Copies of this chain bind each other. A is one copy, B any other.
Amino acid sequence: MAANDGTVGKALEVLDQVAAFGRPVRFSELLDASPFPKATLYRLVQTLTKQHMLTFDHERNTYTPGLRLVRLAHAAWQQSSLVPIARPHIDQLAEEVREAVHLAQIDHGHVIFVDKRKKTNMFDTLAQTGLVAPSYCTGVGKAILAFLPEDRRDEALKMQAFVPYTPHTHKSPDSLTPELAEIRKDGIAFDREEHEQGIISVAAPILRSGDKVVGAISIATSTSRRSLDDLNGLSPILLETASRIASEIEPWHFPN
Binding site for B on A (CB under 8 A): 3, 5-9, 11-12, 15-16, 18-20, 22-24, 44, 47-48, 50-53, 55-60, 64-81, 105, 107-108, 110, 112, 114, 128-132, 252-253, 255
Please tell me how many copies of the chain the complex holds. Answer: 2
If A7-B7, A9-B51, A68-B107 touch, does A22 touch B75 (CB 8 Å cutoff)? yes
Nearest B-chain residue to A9, judged by Cβ? B51
Which residues from chain B contact A57 at a C-beta distance below 8 Å? 252-253, 255
Can you pick out 9 interface pairs between chain A and chain B where the beta carbons lie within 8 Å of each other? A8-B44, A57-B253, A57-B255, A65-B73, A65-B75, A68-B107, A69-B75, A70-B130, A74-B129
Report the separation of the CA atoms of residues A105 and B55 in the bound assembly, to the nearest whole angstrom: 13
Judging by beta carbons under 8 Å apart, are A112 and B70 in contact? yes
- A137 smallest CB distance to B (angstroms): 18
Report the separation of the CA atoms of residues A44 and B23 in the bound assembly, to the nearest whole angstrom: 30
Counting from the closest, the 8 A-B pairs by CB-CB distance are: A74-B130, A73-B73, A65-B76, A19-B75, A67-B107, A59-B253, A5-B47, A69-B73
Which residues from chain B contact A253 at a C-beta distance below 8 Å? 57-60
Which residues from chain B contact A69 at a C-beta distance below 8 Å? 69, 72-73, 75-76
Judging by beta carbons under 8 Å apart, are A67 and B105 in contact? yes
Which residues from chain B contact A108 at a C-beta distance below 8 Å? 52, 67-68
Judging by beta carbons under 8 Å apart, are A71 and B107 in contact? yes
Judging by beta carbons under 8 Å apart, are B7 and A73 in contact? no
Other-chain residue from B8, B56, B64, B75 in contact with A76 (beta carbon distance below 8 A) = B64
Nearest B-chain residue to A77, judged by Cβ? B70
- A39 smallest CB distance to B (angstroms): 15
Nearest B-chain residue to A250, judged by Cβ? B59
If A8-B51, A253-B57, A253-B59 touch, does A74 touch B132 (CB 8 Å cutoff)? yes
Which residues from chain B contact A66 at a C-beta distance below 8 Å? 76, 107
Report the separation of the CA atoms of residues A67 and B47 in the bound assembly, to the nearest whole angstrom: 22
- A83 smallest CB distance to B (angstroms): 10
- A110 smallest CB distance to B (angstroms): 6
Other-chain residue from B12, B64, B72, B81 in contact with A51 (beta carbon distance below 8 A) = B12
Which residues from chain B contact A8 at a C-beta distance below 8 Å? 7-8, 11, 44, 47-48, 51
Apart from the given pairs A56-B255, A59-B252, A70-B76, 4 other A-B contacts in the complex at a CB distance below 8 Å: A5-B50, A57-B253, A65-B73, A67-B80
- A26 smallest CB distance to B (angstroms): 14
Which residues from chain B contact A48 at a C-beta distance below 8 Å? 8
